[in-house]
Structure 1
Amino acid sequence: MAQLIVRNLEEGVKARLQRRASRHGHSMEEEVRDILRNAVRAEEGSTARLGSRLRDRFAGIGLDEHIRELRGEEVRPSIFKKRWSSSTRTCSRLS
């Protein structure tokens, strides 16, 4: 594995890294590795389209419901069953 030495790091930054590592239950070194991994991953993923990034992020959770739009079927607009009354400034349900 490679090693990286960071010189001239401000004491305040070091202290904040230490607190962050403590909150996550890591050593400061492990916390810095996580931060660097996430920064590089975010940079690489930024060129992918949103749908591809969402698919990759949630690929492992499975999908039990049949969602027609995800299968390439036509998207239908939502139908809202409420009516706005400008005179009373209220919203009521339609039966």
Structure 2
Amino acid sequence: MPSITVRNVPDEVHRALKVLAAQHGRSAEAEIRDILENAVKPKGRKKLGSLLAEIGRRAKLTDEDLKTIEQVRDKTPAKPMTFE
């Protein structure tokens, strides 16, 4: 996993990070990871499964419809690509 070094962090910022980490019951390093992760994650991000389930609800698919789709779906494994 990659590492990041941040130089010249002001003392008051470093102290505030340590306090925040203690309030959340984790190390300063774990607190910084959490802050960075939350800063770069898109807000309101939906995962693929949730989006697919929403599409199914909008289309008013029933369990019977899903069984039919599963029965007619081609389950043959895809052939690997060749580059020759």
- The TM-score, its normalising length taken from structure 2, stands at 0.52
* 1:27 CA displacement: 0.1
Match of 2:39 in 1: 39
* 1:32 CA displacement: 0.0
Q: In 2, distance between residues paired with 1:8 and 1:21?
A: 20
Match of 1:24 in 2: 24
Superimposed CA distance per residue, residues 8-64 of structure 1 (whole angstroms, 9 cap, x where no aligned partner) = 0000000000000000001000000000000000xx34xxxxxxx38x39x6xxxxx
Structure 2: give runs of 5+ residues left out of the alignment: 51-57, 59-84
* 1:6 CA displacement: 0.4
How many residues align? The count is 50
Q: In 1, distance between residues paired with 2:11 and 2:2?
A: 24
Q: In 1, distance between residues paired with 2:2 and 2:26?
A: 19
Instruction: Kindly indicate whether structure 1 or structure 2 has the higher relative contact order, using CA contacts under 8 Å at least 6 residues apart.
Output: 2
Match of 1:9 in 2: 9
- The TM-score, its normalising length taken from structure 1, stands at 0.46
Matched residue type, 1:8: N
Matched residue type, 1:32: I
Q: In 2, distance between residues paired with 1:11 and 1:31?
A: 16
| Structure 1 consecutive aligned stretches of length 4 or more whose deviation exceeds 2 Å | none
What fraction of aligned residue pairs are identical, expressed as a percent? 41
| Superposition CA RMSD, Å | 2.2
Q: In 1, distance between residues paired with 2:15 and 2:33?
A: 16
